[in-house]
Amino acid sequence: MENTLTLYVRYLAKPGCRETFLRQLTTHGVIDAIRREDGCLRYDYFLSVQNADEILLVEQWQTEEKQQAHLRAPHMDQLRRLKSEYVADARLGRVRLD
């Protein structure tokens, strides 16, 4: 899997909105839709035990092209709407998983 693209997103939810944000992603089917996308190998959220408003997303894609296509998927509009309502900040990074 040397050519895979692994990204992380550190979300800082608006105060008290972390669980609501994740619940809305599930209710609207966003997470399931992303996991079914062509090229998605992993799409998992993790909750910080140190900060009640922090979420870590780890996503892995077969190729950068498939990840870029993911950004244009229709359900990403819903994700963007939910982020604008519940998320104060998001930081993206790339990592290598061995």
Q: Is the pLDDT of residue 60 over 90?
A: yes
Specify the CATH number for the domain of residue 68. 3.30.70.100
Query: Residue 3: its pLDDT value, please?
Result: 77
Identify the sign of the CA torsion 56, 91, 73, 28. Answer: positive
Radius of gyration of the chain (CA): 13
> Would you say 7 and 63 are in contact if contact means Cβ atoms under 8 Å apart?
no
The pLDDT tens digits of the residues spanning 67-98 come to: 999 999 999 999 999 999 999 999 999 987 65
Q: Is residue 1 part of a domain?
A: no
Q: Chain-wide mean pLDDT for the chain?
A: 95
The number of domains in the chain is 1
Q: Is residue 98 part of a domain?
A: no
Query: Residue 77: its pLDDT value, please?
Result: 96
Domain hosting residue 49, numbered range: 8-93
Query: Residue 32: its pLDDT value, please?
Result: 98
